[in-house]
Every structure is written in structure tokens, then in C-alpha cells.
Structure 1
């Protein structure tokens, strides 16, 4: 388990949507400082919030972030893109861009910050997944989240020796700008953030935020045809 009180956290994509909720939840639970990243970060009036620039698909940008934030003990891989274009008929460049942002970006963050977490006592790495990690019908986005889920599970094993808690957070649609065009029930970002923080503090390895996500996870032992979801927009 990871104590949030007094910790120093990093949240990628931390100035809007879920990332903003994560940063606020850390502060509410007593974090000493939270780095929040964006492609074009905005200043913060809260001295505990440190905005930093990050392009998650750029290795040099990630390296610069790791140099700046060497005191972190919690890293949250939240930044990503949502482009559910068809795998066969969509532009291949869009598929590659989705994987660069949602798969290779978080992996590069993990590789850059693993030694930092080790030097700071182990800490925690949190990857934000989706119910679509286990479902079909969301094309490149769903495939990217499935890949990140697999990566997270392997990183959990590779980071165990240095005492790093690795947490995968799965959820249905949260009420953010990213999915404002999606016609589906949505949960509040604050609810997601609270579930994530609870998982950190109780030593969880996987957090299933909502009942829909729990039902989909339970159905993985059934026929793959049952995993198809409508991605209505």
C-alpha cells in the first residue's frame, strides 16, 4: 500500500478531466506536491500544484520531465487520446498515433520513472485503463487500452523487486470533455479519483470503479462474442 499523505505525485494530463480530479484528490488526502502535465500547461494559484510541459509521444519531453520531477513517489499515467476509428477503414496513421499516446507513452513514462520511484522508496505507478480494455467495438482505442492493461500486468512483476505498487484503474465512461459526444451513462471524475486513491492506500493492484466495469471483467471467462460493446456517439 502507498500512503498519500505527505507524498509527491505526478499526474500526466493533470490539468483537465480525470487528471484534474486525480490531482485534487491527492491534495485532499494530504499530498505535499502534485506535478501536473499538459502540452501547454497553465499556471496554478495553488503552490502545491506544479504544472509542467509534456508531450507523451516525445521521448525527449519525457526525459526532460523525469529530470525535473526526481522527487516523486507516485506516478499516474493518465494522458491519452480517444479515437475509436475502425481498424480496417480508418487511417493507419490514426491507429499508430493512438498506440503512441495510449501504449508507448505510458510505457516510456514507466521506464523513465521506475529508477526514480526505486530511489524514493518504491512508491506507486498507476495506469488508467478502461472497461474497453476487455471489450470489442472500440477499434484502435480499445485495442490500445487492452495493450496497456497487459503492459501494466507485466510491469507489476518487473517492479515488484523494488517495492513499487502497480495499480491498474478500470472504469466506464467518466463525465469529461473527452467523451462528451458519447451517449452512455457516465460517472463523475471525483468518484474515479476517490476509487483510485482508495486503491493506493489499501494496497490494491486493480481498481474496478463502477458496477458496469465489474460485470464486464467478470464476463471474461465467457464467450468472446459477449464482450462486444456498442460505442455510440
Structure 2
């Protein structure tokens, strides 16, 4: 797709990877609606701040009415409670699903008709290498991202005949506030943003942005023994 003629809504664009994505899209000539719960936090010159809480149906509906010109939707807004599935408060686990699965689905359902009415376009769901492998200490996040991957696959087929291409971005750790405490190699969000937008421009359905994502996909094809070698 031609990024320079696209009008984009990026959710969670106030910081971290969402901000990097919005900046990359702006640098390529796109018109960018930068969504955030608090639009006053948007500090990107050229971006159009828009109030958007993807877990609030009224907020999503208001964002649809406030735009009208979107041809590319980037579902980036996320949460990371650090909840494991056996010991954490169920409210934290529900928050992960409400954000990554139900929130993403709500925004897609709201904006897909707008994209179709504008002649078609694309949707990018920001997924993770953890869509394919689960870390017990992040069980809720991993489950939610796995659900979002399944959602991406279903929507990819359902929306194709409306001229909407649905892509998924898989990436490992990026150097953002969300994983500040994680002691592991982390990619520069700006680098991943370039890879993601290159993939969109090329019409890719699946964008594997780093070695962590590629290794997780390869292990998924092998099975449990490759994904969880610690098991007896």
C-alpha cells in the first residue's frame, strides 16, 4: 500500500512503540490520528491527537465519529500486568484480555466499515513472539496475545473481500517502559517501526521483526519439545 496517501489511526500513540510507529508513518507522508486515553500526552508534531480508550465502547464510537478518513488502522494499545495464571488476581488477567483481545476487536469492528467505505486499506495488529510461546510469569499477557493472533487470522479472511488486508507484527522485547525491568536484549522501537511500516508498504500479512519472533515461530512448528525444553 502507498503509505504517503494513507490516513492512519494508531492506538496507544502517546509513548513507547506506538509513538515510534506514529513518527515513522508521519515521516513517510501519512496523515496520522494519534490515539491515547489522554490526548494531551501526544507530543508529535503533525499528528492529530484523538481521545481513545479501546476498552470503552463509547470512546471507540466517539473516535469513529471524530475521524471518517481512516484507511489504515494500527492496533498497538496494550497492557502488561505481569499476571501469572494461577496466582494473580483475576481482574488483572481480565484486563489483559479486555485490552489485547476484546479492545482490539472492538476497534476493528468500529473502524473496518470506515476503511471499506474509503476504498479499502489495511489493519496492523501489534502482536508478539509471545503469541506463540508462553512464559509462566507472564501467562495472562501471553494468553491474551495468543488470542489476538487467532483474532488476526480470522479477521484476515473475513475482511479480505472488503479490500482490507490484515497484518500481524510479531516482535520480541523492545526498549520501552513496558519492559523496563526485564533483563534481556531489546530492540530499538524506531527500528521495529521502520520494519513494520516496510511490511505494510509491501503488503505483508505477517511481519517478523526480529530474531526472537523468528525463533518463536520456528519452535511453534516443531512443537512442545522446542517451545518448552524444560519439560521432562
* TM tier relative to shorter chain: over 0.9
Q: Tell whether 2:31 aligns with 1:23.
A: no
1:50 corresponds, among 48, 57, 74, to: 48
The number of aligned residues is: 227
Provide the aligned C-alpha RMSD in A.
Answer: 1.5
The answer to which structure has the higher helix fraction is 2
2:81 corresponds, among 80, 83, 90, to: 83
TM-score, L = length of structure 2: 0.94
Query: Cα distance, 1:56 vs. partner?
Result: 1.2
CA separation of 1:85 and 1:114: change in aligned 2, threshold 3 A: same
DSSP 3-state at the match of 1:150:
helix
TM-score, L = length of structure 1: 0.94
The separation in 2 between residues aligned to 1:136 and 1:15, in whole angstroms, is 28
The separation in 2 between residues aligned to 1:52 and 1:174, in whole angstroms, is 25
1:9-41, CA deviations, whole angstroms, 9 ceiling, x for partnerless residues?
11000111000110111111111x211111111
Task: Show the 5 A alignment for 1:1-12.
Answer: 2-12=1-11
Query: Cα distance, 1:225 vs. partner?
Result: 4.2
Query: Cα distance, 1:195 vs. partner?
Result: 0.9
Q: Is the 8 A contact 2:23 2:44 kept in 1?
A: no
Query: Cα distance, 1:54 vs. partner?
Result: 1.2
CA separation of 1:161 and 1:136: change in aligned 2, threshold 3 A: same
1:50-97, CA deviations, whole angstroms, 9 ceiling, x for partnerless residues?
111111111111010111111011100000101231101110111111
The separation in 1 between residues aligned to 2:3 and 2:187, in whole angstroms, is 23
Query: Cα distance, 1:187 vs. partner?
Result: 0.2
Match of 1:133 in 2: 131
* Structure 1 stretches of at least 4 aligned residues deviating more than 6 Å after TM superposition: none
Q: Which runs of 5+ in 2 are unaligned?
A: none
Q: Which runs of 5+ in 1 are unaligned?
A: none
Match of 2:170 in 1: 170
